[in-house]
Amino acid sequence: MIQASDKESSRQCVALCLISVWLGGLVAPALALTVALDVGHSLAHPGAISARGVPEFAFNRALAVVVQHALEKQGFQVRLIGAQGDMDDLRSRTRAAAGADVFLSVHHDSVQPRYLETWVPGGIPHRFSDRFSGFSLFVSRSNPALSTSLTCASRLGTTLRRAGFVPSEHHAAPIPGENRPFADRANGVHYFDDLVVLKTATQPALLLEAGIIVNRTDEVSLQDPATREKIAGAITTALQACLTGTPGHALP
Ligand SMILES: [Zn+2]
């Protein structure tokens, strides 16, 4: 009896152990954090045009691919949204992000038309402004997870600053088209409540303007693979920290 019982429980144990190993294999990948990485704009509506005539969408896509690789290297799952350039409906972007742990929209910045001047590099006239430089971050108070959105944005501002980048404050200027209040001035974070992708996202959401592509110096730097790697590293560090509750604080 005892022997039979032992054999029985041993058989049960083997079965249970196999099930738990199988379940472990299923559960482990699901624990990886998923980043919905949104490539701002599209081929039809490419956003800002750089000081040398390159559309913002090309900058956004090139940076997003580098960010994707950096995140995946650190164990994140990445859902790249809009990389084909055919996503013109903003709400379809946040629908595509359903179930992700965070939504990050990648953009490059311009300035108000009043600041733009004309130059003629290579015989072709282009608009530029060297007046402002640096990154900006946005969160929406209409997003259902404002607190984590803001924590992630502040952390990203901090990791970008530690990597040598500087926030631009031009979106806070009291002029038409700007007036975006600071959520965390030191780390370059603003409130922009009506940004469609931020307010319709069902998870924490932030939008990064990585730099100002109508600035002639910044445009060149933002195309440098080393700059993109630095930005991608800052994003990876910040998202790891804010999504896993890693100790540490945003820089004051
Ligand atoms: Zn944009």
Distance, CA 110 to ligand 1 centroid (Å)? Answer: 8
Which residue from 243, 248, 249 is spatially nearest to 103, judged by alpha carbons?
Answer: 243
Asked if 94 and 100 touch (Cβ cutoff 8 Å), the reply is no
Say if residue 101's pLDDT is above 80.
yes
Look at residue 6 and tell me whether its pLDDT is greater than 80. Answer: no
Distance 44 CA to ligand 1 centre (A): 13
* 126-128 and 117-119 beta bridge pairing: antiparallel
- How remote is the CA of residue 41 from the centroid of ligand 1, in Å? 6
Q: How far is the CA of 40 from the centre of ligand 1 (A)?
A: 6
H-run or E-run covering 104: strand 102-109
Query: Distance, CA 64 to ligand 1 centroid (Å)?
Result: 13
Tens of pLDDT, residues 57-99: 999 999 999 999 999 999 999 999 999 999 999 999 999 999 9
What is the Å distance from ligand 1's center to 48 Cα? Answer: 6
Q: How far apart are CA 24 and CA 251, in angstroms?
A: 38
Average pLDDT on 99-116 reads: 97
pLDDT for residue 136: 98
Query: β-strand 34-39 against 102-109: which pairing, if any?
Result: parallel
How confident is the model at residue 20, as a pLDDT?
A: 43
199: how many CB neighbours lie within 10 A of its CB? Answer: 16
Helix axes 225-244, 56-73, angle to 10 degrees: 50
Provide the whole-model pTM.
0.86
How many angstroms separate the alpha carbon of residue 244 from the centre of ligand 1? Answer: 28
Question: Distance (Å, rounded) from C-alpha 196 to C-alpha 202?
Answer: 12
Counting DSSP H helices and E strands in the chain, the numbers are 7, 9
Q: Is the pLDDT of residue 21 over 50?
A: no
Cα 153 to Cα 163: distance, rounded to the nearest angstrom: 15
The Å distance, Cα 33 to ligand 1 centre, comes to: 25
CB of 140 closer than 8 Å to CB of 226: no
The mean predicted confidence, pLDDT, of the chain is 90
Distance 5 CA to ligand 1 centre (A): 69
pLDDT at 19 over 50: no
* Ligand 1 centroid from CA 63, angstroms: 13
In the reported structure, the alpha carbon of residue 120 is separated from the centroid of ligand 1 by a whole-number distance in angstroms of 24
Q: What is the pLDDT of residue 22?
A: 45
What spacing in Å lies between the alpha carbon of 84 and ligand 1's midpoint? Answer: 16
pLDDT at 246: 74
Separation of CA 6 and ligand 1 centre (Å) = 67
CB 38 within 8 A of CB 103: yes
Q: Which band of pLDDT confidence, cut at 50, 70 and 90, is reported for residue 18?
A: very low
pLDDT at residue number 247: 61
Distance 26 CA to ligand 1 centre (A): 38
